[in-house]
Structure 1
Amino acid sequence: MSSSSVSNVENLPPHVLRGVSKETVALSQEPPEGIQLHLNYDDLTDIQATINGPEGTPYAGGEFKVKLVLGKDFPAAPPKGFFLTKIFHPNIATSGEICVNALKKDWKPDLGLKHILLVIKCLLIEPNPESALNEEAGKLLLENYNEFHQRAALMTEIHAKPQPTSPPSMKLKAKVRKDKKKTLKRL
């Protein structure tokens, strides 16, 4: 995924950058349900989003960070998609690379970023074991759904569930306690 950290701003024509900018701003203002776009104003080609795990799936309750990498041939060529959050899924490699037809043979330049993000969200609902990048997940999905579900839910629990934060009052009390201890030591 090393190429995903390289900016392609200088490689894309201005009209493409304007289109990407318009689309990302529109997506951030009116995001599709369960998808939140994270804008990077310094690099328009750094497209990241959080996709909420759909209810009724082993990914429910999870928050999955994804990244789309626009190559120099975008939009003629599809972007590459990566999950930044670890996930157990047939169509997502352990490296995070996403395998979905919308990013491969079914790509059309007019599909747009919203379509891609929705297709990725749909993958969480309807995995495709026939085009598995993670063969273990694909095999489990076909042969033992319950075990697949358990593994995917466990990975979601470990890597994608938001960590509870302590209320501000608890943090403040802890700081006051620490300050009191420091003061007592000085006396």
Structure 2
Amino acid sequence: MFKKLILLLPAVLLVSCGKDSVPKPRGDLRLEYPEPKYVKFAEPCPFTFEYSDFSEITDAKKQRNCWYYINYNGMKGKVFLTYYPIKGDFEAHVKESEKMVYEHTVKASSIETKSFQYPEKKVFGNFYELKGQSASNLQFYITDSTRHFVTAYLYFNSRPKPDSLAPAVDYVKRDMLHLIDTFEWK
């Protein structure tokens, strides 16, 4: 028995004298998007704005006139832009827009609202940023308060994972804020 132990001891020492295995840290994908160059939107609608050349605008006329998708194909994201003429129903449009925002309170951890106004261009509205696992991360409405009402909603074709989507949401947020800054009624 003692002979077997003496023969087994060097074998155990040779096998156990290796480097300790350490788990490698989990690596995250680094997403980089191009610096945006802005293009003027010039469709036969009562408004104009600038949008990023990284995106592509497609017509959603199957729904109504002046409804568009601003597609971010590299991100699997889409901004749904809608236009409504105001016909004595201004408050109803504002309430519907806010309803679309606050329907996400079930999953959103917070909702930040920023009002904006450009009286010289007659552009007024609210910009909503929804934090957490909300299906729509960014929304806004723009109006002149008398004749026109435009809404926009950002959606991604993926599960709402705030950490993973954060770089894409930040990129589209800058584009949406630029859209608002350059928005004008015809």
TM-score, with normalisation over the residues of structure 2? 0.27
Structure having the larger proportion of residues in helix:
1
Structure having the larger proportion of residues in strand:
2
